[in-house]
Chain A
Amino acid sequence: MPGALSICNAGKVYDPGGLNVVAMDGITFDIRENAFCVVVGPSGCGKTTLLNSVAGFDGLTSGEIFLDGERIAGRGVSAKPGPGRMVVFQNGALFPWKTVLWNVSCGPVQQGRMSRAEAQTKARELMAKVGLSGIEDQFPGQLSGGQKRRVEIVRALMNNPKVLLMDEPFRALDALTKSVVQEFLLEVYDAIPKTVFFITHDLEEAIFLADVVVVMSTRPGTVKRIVKTGLPRPRDHTLLTSPEFLRLYGELEALIHEEAMKAFRAGERELA
């Protein structure tokens, strides 16, 4: 299944009471099919706004977004989410009132592609494949933070999406759990290649996961730099101390820090 994403001149202006807050402006970049793209930038740079318009939760005020040539956002297109663009949410959105198995299998059933029994069989297979067997009958509340994130990734993949959208999914995890779940994501990505649009404010995470890192500037969010990492796959945690990784990190760290400082000063001005 292809999944070439093309963002053309995308912009969003929020206008609560005529304040005209420009969240992002003139964002343009392409993601090849099955590429892992990470957008990195300081808080409030419009990363989530961009992801929400790709996901169909919110519209754009200027520009357009295309997925495999289909116009999914822009003037005259009403924002509409769908199974072609699955989202893994910042704080997790497994339904706490349903078991893990039900959560993972609900997508295909809801879309009318499979019967409940078929979907559950497939869900069990997929969970076994990625090493998550044995927790199918538990409720999400019984899982650890890392397990929840992994289950949510599997739930997204069950729908065979064209693009996997990840909105700072590992933000709330502690550093050790985070590294485990990152490796899990890389393994899954190697086994089931997908176009991934991942946003974070953690540069190390960005370089570790990405084929392409998009650095965004602070408000109004614009694209500051696009870097192809060129790091080999499959990857594991040893990459984090390799010279190529550290070189990239050094190159981008200054850029990110500069934007973070700008965002910080802007925040101080707003408060003053």
Chain B
Amino acid sequence: MSSITQPRPLLRVRRWAARRWNLELLLWFVSLGTFALVWQFAKTWNIPYLNSLPSITDVVTGASDLVTSPKYAEAWWLSLRRITFGFVAAQIVGIPLGLAMAMSRTTFYTSFPIIEMLRPIPPVAWIPVAIIFWPTRELSVVAIVWLGAFWIVLLNTIGGASNIDVAYKRAALSLGSKPHHIFWKIVLPAAAPSIVTGMAVGMGISWEMVVASEMIAGNNGLGYLLWQSFEINAMDQVIVCMVSIGIAGYISSALIRALGQAITPWQRLF
């Protein structure tokens, strides 16, 4: 039906409705609303398997106690510190080693067999060894975080630095660069986007590792707080801890993204 045959006021109403109530927005509210509703009344309605879930309002009131306590702030601080140390150390070792492996066949073939042997072992499986190996629990947790970020950064660096179009190197040599300039002028910037990707993925894995190793080996931190809340059967606190870790992971990823854009400003254009 053509719009010309419709009476004008009705057309105006329909346009208004189309602007305000598009289907996407409606689905948004319906799905979020259902989620919140089921959560809020899971206990009251005795929904199977969900009946031990504290309601949103319970979580919020329980949260205020936990969130204002000094141990909560301390947990944030300790987990963030472990993430920072482990993650930064992974970059310090992973990026240069990856670049060296991409640049030199000798380095590649000496390191690759060991790396391929150890890499399939999930970092969590290293927790007992880390506890025995490192003198303090703190170092054990940092080492596990390091391991989680290390593999992904290493592989991304190797990938980025070994798949560089030879035309860039040739162009640089023609333009007057000396062969020893190629690393800084071509290899490093060409590998940078892959390295940044490795850092972003590595940060996610770092959070998984810090939570897992704090649960097993730690006596503080957000992961430990989560486990401790579970052991005292404080489900509202468990949920607060889960959300906190989610927020922490989100903030860390946002920081890595910002860092990535600062390092590779040409990348955000694509």
Contacts and interface: CB of A to CB of B under 8 A. Distances in A.
Contacts of B165: 91, 93
Interface stretch (A38-46, A78-86, A177-185): A78-86
B71 interface: no
B84 to A, nearest CB: 27
A81 B170 contact: yes
Nearest to B166: A57
Contacts, number: 65
B170 A141 contact: no
Interface stretch (B136-144, B150-158, B262-270): B262-270
A86 B171 CA distance: 8
Contacts of A90: 167
A251 to B, nearest CB: 34
Interface string B167-202: 110111111110001000010011010000000000
Contact of A81 (B173, B181, B265): B173
A81 B177 CA distance: 10
Contact of A107 (B167, B175, B186, B266): B175
B167 A89 contact: yes
A89 B177 CA distance: 17
A106 B170 contact: no
Contact of A82 (B176, B186, B265, B266): B176
Interface string A135-146: 000011110000
* Best-surrounded residue of B168, B171, B176, B266 (most CB of chain A within 10 A): B171
Interface in A64-96: 81-83, 85-87, 89-93, 95-96
Contact of B175 (A89, A92, A140, A159): A159
Interface in B231-270: 264-266, 269-270
Given A93-B167, A95-B189, A97-B192, A83 B266 contact: no
Given A93-B165, A97-B190, A141-B266, A110 B170 contact: no
* Best-surrounded residue of A57, A86, A91, A93 (most CB of chain B within 10 A): A93
Nearest to A96: B266
A55 interface: yes
A57 B168 CA distance: 12
A111 interface: yes
Nearest to B177: A110
Given A93-B167, A97-B264, A139 B174 contact: no
Which of the four size classes fits the interface of chain B? Answer: 20 to 34
Interface residues of A, number: 29
A30 to B, nearest CB: 23
B176 A111 contact: yes
A83 B175 contact: yes
B109 to A, nearest CB: 20
Contacts of A56: 174
A99 to B, nearest CB: 8
Interface in A92-139: 92-93, 95-98, 106-107, 110-112, 139
Nearest to B265: A139
Contact of B170 (A93, A96, A155): A93
A109 B265 CA distance: 23
Nearest to A158: B175
B167 A86 contact: no
B176 A139 contact: no
B174 A85 contact: yes
Contacts of B175: 83, 86, 106-107, 110-111, 155, 159
A87 B190 contact: no
A23 to B, nearest CB: 17
A83 B269 contact: no
28 contacts: A55-B174, A82-B176, A83-B175, A83-B176, A85-B174, A86-B175, A87-B170, A89-B167, A89-B171, A91-B167, A92-B167, A93-B170, A93-B171, A95-B168, A95-B172, A95-B186, A96-B266, A97-B189, A97-B192, A97-B266, A98-B189, A98-B266, A106-B175, A107-B175, A110-B177, A110-B181, A141-B270, A142-B269
Instruction: Pick the 4 closest A-B CB pairs, nearest first.
Output: A111-B176, A110-B176, A93-B167, A93-B171
Given A83-B174, A92-B167, A111-B175, 11 more contacts: A83-B175, A86-B175, A87-B171, A90-B167, A95-B189, A96-B266, A107-B176, A110-B177, A139-B266, A139-B269, A140-B266
